[in-house]
Amino acid sequence: MLGRTANGLFWMFRYLERAVNMARLLDAGLRIALTRDIVSAEDEWRSVIAAAGQREAFEQKHGTYTGMQAWNFILRDRDNPASIINMFEQTRTNARLARNAISSELWEAINDNWMQISAIMAKPVGQGSVNEAVTLIRSAGTLAHGAMLGTMLRDEGFHFARAGTYVERADSIARILDIKYYLLLPSLSYVGSSLDTGQWDQVLRSVSGDRAYRSLHAGQVDARGIVEFLVLDDRFPRSLAFCHSALRDELSALARLHGSEGESNALMRRADTRLSDLTIEDVFDQGLHEFLIEFAGTNAAIGQAIASDYRFLS
């Protein structure tokens, strides 16, 4: 396969993951804002925008935080480089680039959803249609993954696509955790104590982990338990441990197909060893923020090593 095509597949699924994660985050915000009065709803939207990593861009454009402004910014603002419409467009552009490495069903899943998403986002999204927009994006992701699993040849292209998914997912979870934990707390003395459970509820919702967490922890919400769940519980498909274990499998499969290991496999092995020996106490001893920064750095380095091992760009 061409290096450029591999790059297209990798980024197609990174952007798709990013768009869908953003939709989840927005969905969690919508849910919580509904239960607040106007004043605290404003705080809530501020924290959603912050968790999306779009605070600076948003405040350049808007002086206040209203729901309408916030969700339109996240959903469809072309000036916002991380808006869902921009992410989904990038997904489709990469799918076109890699058009003959993906199945028709996968292409049509992306293209058909693109037509619907751009139609619903052609004009400002109001209170009445914001849920519809979010649902559409989430189901677009589900449909694309389903089409891929059901129809794509298990060749290197498949593994590049999966690798892109997990690199992106790990990055976005680390980011959400970090922002929530480090930036949004009133002060460090709150760390590890009983917290604003609403905030943690939102974290869980934004990674679609609320139900799974409740069933494992009999409904008890505490910061340490949630962090442990999202960092170390490899049964949950949106935990850091799960993402890296899945990424390791994809990279091993690629190395097998190519008959040799590269820099990405070496980095992966080191990251793996580090994570598998870790307890939640170690994480808090190091400091969660420091741990997450280190994790995201390793994750990004693995992404870059994949690109150079498999000649994505040169």
Residues that bind other proteins (CB under 8 A): 1-6, 93, 96-97, 99-100, 104, 107-108, 111-112, 115, 156, 258, 310-311, 314
Indicate the residue among 219 and 259 with the shorter CB distance to other proteins. Answer: 259
Indicate the residue among 116 and 131 with the shorter CB distance to other proteins. Answer: 116
CB of 209 to other proteins, least distance (A): 34
Closest CA to 201 of 40, 16, 44: 44
User: Which residues are CB-neighbours of 123 under 8 A, at least 6 positions away?
Assistant: none
Cβ atoms within 10 Å, residue 293: 14
- Structure tokens belonging to residue 8: 């297209």
Query: Tokens 């129809």 belong to which residue?
Result: 151
CB of 96 to other proteins, least distance (A): 5
CB of 81 to other proteins, least distance (A): 16
Rg from Cα positions in the chain:
19
CB of 107 to other proteins, least distance (A): 7
Are 239 and 229 in contact by the 8 Å Cβ rule? The answer is yes
Indicate the residue among 2 and 122 with the shorter CB distance to other proteins. Answer: 2
d(CA 6, CA 12): 10
Indicate the residue among 144 and 283 with the shorter CB distance to other proteins. Answer: 144
CB of 89 to other proteins, least distance (A): 8
CB of 95 to other proteins, least distance (A): 9
d(CA 183, CA 219): 26
Are 207 and 215 in contact by the 8 Å Cβ rule? The answer is no
d(CA 258, CA 97): 23
CB of 125 to other proteins, least distance (A): 21
CB of 114 to other proteins, least distance (A): 9
d(CA 45, CA 42): 5
d(CA 176, CA 53): 9
Indicate the residue among 4 and 256 with the shorter CB distance to other proteins. Answer: 4
Indicate the residue among 2 and 34 with the shorter CB distance to other proteins. Answer: 2
Indicate the residue among 108 and 132 with the shorter CB distance to other proteins. Answer: 108
Query: Tokens 């999202």 belong to which residue?
Result: 230
- Counting Cβ atoms within 10 Å, is residue 92 exposed (0-12), middle (13-18) or buried (19+)? buried
- Structure tokens belonging to residue 230: 């999202």
Indicate the residue among 3 and 198 with the shorter CB distance to other proteins. Answer: 3
Q: What sign does the dihedral 148-152-154-157 (CA atoms) show?
A: negative
